[in-house]
């Protein structure tokens, strides 16, 4: 398989997927906390290279039944190019039963429900959307490129099309000063988005980001472990989901959670309280990673 760029990333639940890189980098690439694609100029890969990778997968990836489309912005492609891509995946990899991709709020909102349904018919199953925070002052500060209303609209469009929606929120992204405001509103916005899967990550400051520079200059303070746990508790407290997975199993987190909502809500709150009281050991720093 042919990969370009310094980093090829995928969600934890795509660990066993065929990673088919269709674009390089991210068309937005302005989020102050994200250093993944800072050195990359967004571009669409040559079609011949993508087709060669499909041929490779057809020969050597017979045991993998899922495809994840990288990098961070495949849904930004035109509908025509996406239809061509999904059609070729179906033709070359007929045993694949799930195709997933990242989608930012702008790219999703640029697709109609009818267009998303068209992609679903061709194999699209799951869309990963990074919310990070539901609190508009935080979204503006981190230059996310969308406000909470636009995030909710994007999420509802994915759900209306019958696609599986996975949304991530980021502990610590508001800094110490707005920690609880961020957590409360994020729980409320997640409830309005109604994701099938909610993934909680914890901010890790990267040297090639604006947020790291702000922290170094004393203009951003990352909450401590207990404050981050309190953020997690507040998010869960304000989650009102009819049905969905809640996970904090990413390597960046201090406390791992894998639960079904709303069934396990009280158990999750109790587990966080145990950690806050010091009865549950937290992941040591040397084991945390992105």
Six-digit token pair at 82?
């996406």
Q: What is the pTM of this model?
A: 0.95
| Domain 12-287 classification at class level | alpha beta
What's the CA gap between 129 and 156, in Å, rounded? 12
Give CA–CA dist 76/87, Å, rounded. 17
pLDDT in tens, 194-252: 999 999 999 999 999 999 999 999 999 999 999 999 999 999 999 999 999 999 989 99
Give per-residue pLDDT as tens, 36-69: 988 888 999 999 999 999 999 999 999 999 999 9
Whose structure tokens read 């990333």? Answer: 9
- In the numeric block, the tokens 């993998």 are attached to 64
pLDDT at 269 over 90: yes
The number of angstroms, rounded, from the C-alpha of 124 to the middle of its chain's C-alpha atoms is: 16
Beta bridge partners of 68: 19, 100
* Helix-then-strand count for the chain, H and E: 10, 10
- The DSSP 8-state label assigned to residue 1 in this structure reads -
How far is it, in rounded angstroms, from Cα 57 to Cα 52? 9
């Amino acid at each position: 398989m042919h990969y370009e760029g310094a980093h090829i990333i995928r969600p934890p639940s795509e660990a066993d997927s065929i990673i088919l890189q269709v674009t390089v980098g991210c068309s937005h690439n302005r989020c102050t906390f994200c250093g993944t694609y800072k050195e990359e100029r967004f571009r669409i890969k040559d079609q011949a290279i993508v087709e060669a990778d499909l041929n490779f997968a057809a020969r050597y990836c017979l045991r993998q039944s899922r495809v994840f489309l990288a990098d961070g912005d495949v849904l930004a492609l035109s509908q025509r190019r996406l239809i061509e891509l999904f059609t070729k995946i179906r033709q070359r990899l007929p045993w694949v039963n799930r195709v997933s991709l990242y989608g930012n709020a702008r790219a999703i909102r640029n697709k109609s429900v009818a267009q998303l349904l068209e992609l679903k018919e061709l194999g699209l199953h799951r869309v990963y959307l990074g919310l990070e925070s539901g609190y508009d002052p935080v979204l503006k500060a981190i230059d996310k490129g969308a406000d909470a209303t636009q995030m909710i609209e994007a999420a509802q469009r994915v759900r209306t099309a019958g696609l599986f929606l996975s949304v991530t929120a980021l502990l610590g992204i508001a800094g110490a000063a707005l920690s609880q405001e961020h957590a409360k509103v994020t729980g409320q916005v997640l409830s309005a988005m109604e994701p099938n899967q909610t993934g909680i990550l914890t901010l890790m400051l990267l040297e090639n980001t604006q947020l790291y520079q702000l922290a170094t200059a004393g203009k951003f303070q990352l909450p401590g472990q207990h404050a981050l746990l309190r953020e997690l508790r507040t998010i869960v407290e304000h989650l009102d989901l009819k049905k969905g997975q809640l996970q904090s199993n990413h390597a960046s987190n201090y406390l791992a959670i894998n639960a079904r909502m709303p069934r396990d809500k009280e158990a999750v709150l109790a587990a966080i309280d145990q950690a806050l009281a010091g009865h549950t050991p937290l992941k040591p720093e040397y084991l945390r990673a992105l």
